[in-house]
């Protein structure tokens, strides 16, 4: 279904451009495009092409289409510099922390990461920071271009009516699934060990050693750690509640007792209070997520499951009250498809294998026993699954697939807004395409 796939291509490349630290094909590299002070390498285009093929998006875009999308991305970066569109370091640090934690969970340790990439953690972080800055700036610029783009039901119907009837996608079986998640707990031994370490840093800092140096050497908050734990000024309500409550009880330069939050264990030093803002730094230690205790969460979910089976509480209400998975908690535990943003998930090879086989052994309307689970940010957890609904395979239609079609139509409209922006913005900067790709006509006006 090319009409649907093409609505995604620009936005796919802009938002999901080449994976950080991805293995690129072996090519004789050269610069194939220049956009102001930004460059596109041949290896970058080849890597993007391979990544799209592996993404499960369907169809095969031409390399000319991908090159045009990469040029649009670089043009957004160039225009962001001209228009002073800036992504704050704090946001980049937050993304950097999350990515590094994901990598450490994936590889098991920082040592394994170093061996896999043949680079130091510091070098990898520098590369990752640069890539993240580009990605986040591009996203912010794209939001500026498409932020006001909306879609109406009339436009969704018009979009659907434009699709040739013999090109309507045949959708696989789809399911609606919910889950209730409980995080594995820190063992008493782990907790005691982390508290002991932080109290030792506190004692030594109060005896004259440098708190900032301890943060640089030992804090597991990667972003603030390199700045000596400095978090800058924060508005009241910006930090998680346990952290803020402890920080605001302190006097300037005073160090807190050990504070536990959802992120780990903190040692906090208040530096300054300025009106409704406060300036603090901290040392963060996290437990080893491979050694957490799942006994209590398993028992907890067992009891919730019994209540649901007895119809003493509805699954959705139980999820809102008891799930520790924030992204799904407010939605009653229901999982969404990241592509369509629908509660209907394709029951095909794009689904996680463990989830697929678990559903294969369940009946619709039932709740699973507690199952081991790894959250998106790498935490050990336990969850129960609710197999709410199963839809048979069918050709797309407005009644059953309105949300999916609405998202397709919205992306098409955003894509058009980006194309119109490109036509105007390309006149403001220098753009050059290598002769090897001249036939792509990247700079040719769509009106010609």
Architecture of domain 188-286: Roll (3.10)
Q: Mean of the per-residue pLDDT values for the chain?
A: 86
Q: Has residue 277 got a pLDDT over 80? A: yes
CA–CA distance, 344 with 374 (Å, rounded to integer)? 22
170-185+291-394 with 188-286: one CATH topology? yes
Of residues 167, 171, 170, 169, the one with CA closest to residue 346: 171
Please tell me which residue, 301 or 122, carries the higher pLDDT value: 301
Compute the distance between CA of residue 147 and CA of residue 414 in angstroms, rounded to an integer: 9
Residues near 400 by beta carbon (within 8 Å), at least 6 away in sequence: 391, 394
Measured distance CA(423)–CA(416) in Å, rounded? 11
Res 156: pLDDT:
95
Residue with tokens 């398993």: 298
pLDDT on residue 1? 39
What's the Cα-to-Cα distance from 220 to each of 53, 100, 287, 379, 446, rounded to whole Å? Answer: 36, 10, 10, 15, 50
pLDDT 10s digits, 355-370: 999 999 999 999 999 9
Q: pLDDT tier at 305 (50, 70, 90 boundaries)? A: very high
pLDDT digits (tens, 9 = 90+) for 89-128: 888 887 887 787 777 766 767 777 877 778 787 788 888 8
For residue 370, give the DSSP letter. Answer: P
- pLDDT value of residue 448: 47
| Annotated domain spans of the chain | 2-157+397-440, 170-185+291-394, 188-286
> CA nearest 232: which of 277, 198, 283?
277
* Cβ–Cβ < 8 Å for 221, 97: yes
| Residue 29 three-state SS | coil
Indicate the DSSP class of residue 293. Answer: B
Distance CA 269, CA 257 (A): 10
CATH, domain 2-157+397-440, list 2.40.160, 1.10.4030, 2.60.40, 1.10.8: 1.10.4030
Least reliable range by pLDDT among 166-175, 282-291, 350-359, 363-372: 282-291
Spatial contact of 411 and 8, defined as CB atoms under 8 Å apart: yes
Give the pLDDT confidence of 68-91 residue by residue, as tens digits. 889 999 999 999 999 898 888 888
Alpha carbon 208 to chain centroid, angstroms? 41
This prediction has a pTM of 0.60
Mind giving me the DSSP string for 335-369? ---TTT--S-EE-STTS-HHHHHHHHTS-TT-BPP
Q: Which of 218-227, 403-412, 427-436 has the lowest mean pLDDT?
A: 218-227
Average of per-residue pLDDT across 393-399: 91
State the distance between the two ends of the chain, measured CA to CA, in whole angstroms.
Answer: 26
User: Domain spanning 170-185+291-394 has what CATH number?
Assistant: 3.10.50.40
Residues pairing with 380 in the sheet: 374
Can you tell me whether residue 185 is helix, strand or coil? strand
Q: What is the dihedral of CA 304, 305, 311, 316, to 10 degrees?
A: 70
């Amino acid at each position: 279904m090319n009409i649907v796939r093409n609505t995604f291509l620009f936005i796919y490349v802009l938002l999901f451009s080449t994976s950080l630290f991805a293995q690129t094909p072996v090519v004789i590299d050269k610069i194939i495009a220049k956009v102001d002070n930004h460059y596109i390498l041949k290896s970058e285009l080849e890597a993007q092409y391979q990544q799209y093929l592996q993404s499960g998006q369907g169809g095969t875009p031409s390399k000319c289409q991908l090159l045009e999308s990469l040029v649009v991305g670089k043009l957004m970066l160039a225009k962001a510099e001209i228009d002073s569109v800036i992504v704050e370091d704090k946001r980049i640090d937050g993304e950097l922390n999350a990515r590094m934690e994901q990598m450490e969970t994936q590889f098991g340790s920082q040592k394994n990461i170093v061996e896999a990439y043949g680079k130091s953690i510091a070098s990898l972080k520098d590369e990752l920071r640069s890539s993240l800055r580009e990605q986040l700036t591009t996203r912010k610029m794209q939001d500026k271009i498409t932020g006001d783009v909306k879609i109406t039901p009339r436009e969704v119907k018009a979009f659907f009516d434009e699709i040739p009837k013999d090109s309507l996608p045949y959708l696989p079986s789809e399911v609606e699934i919910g889950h209730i998640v409980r995080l594995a707990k820190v063992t008493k031994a782990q907790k005691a060990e982390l508290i002991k370490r932080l109290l030792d840093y506190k004692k030594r800092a109060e005896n004259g050693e440098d708190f900032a140096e301890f943060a640089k050497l030992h804090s597991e908050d990667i972003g603030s750690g390199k700045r000596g734990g400095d978090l800058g000024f924060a508005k009241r309500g910006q930090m998680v509640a346990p952290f803020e409550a402890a920080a605001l009880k302190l006097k300037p330069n005073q160090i807190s007792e050990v504070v536990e939050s959802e992120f780990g264990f903190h040692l906090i030093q208040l530096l300054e209070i300025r009106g409704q803002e406060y300036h603090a730094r901290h040392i963060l230690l996290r437990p080893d997520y491979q050694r957490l205790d799942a006994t209590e969460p398993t028992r907890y979910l067992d009891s919730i499951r019994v209540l649901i089976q007895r119809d003493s509480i509805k699954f959705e209400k139980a999820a809102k009250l008891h799930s520790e998975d924030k992204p799904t908690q407010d939605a009653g535990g229901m999982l969404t498809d990241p592509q369509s943003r629908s509660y209907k998930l394709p029951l095909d090879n794009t689904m996680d294998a463990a989830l697929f086989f678990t559903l294969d052994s369940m009946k619709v309307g039932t709740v699973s026993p507690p199952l081991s689970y790894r959250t998106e940010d790498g935490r050990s957890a336990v969850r129960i699954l609710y197999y709410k609904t199963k839809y048979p395979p069918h050709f797309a239609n407005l009644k059953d697939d309105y949300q999916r079609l609405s998202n397709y139509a919205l992306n098409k409209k955003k894509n058009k807004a980006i194309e119109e922006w490109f036509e105007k913005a390309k006149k403001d900067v220098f753009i050059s395409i290598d002769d090897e790709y001249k036939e792509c006509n990247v700079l040719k006006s769509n009106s010609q």
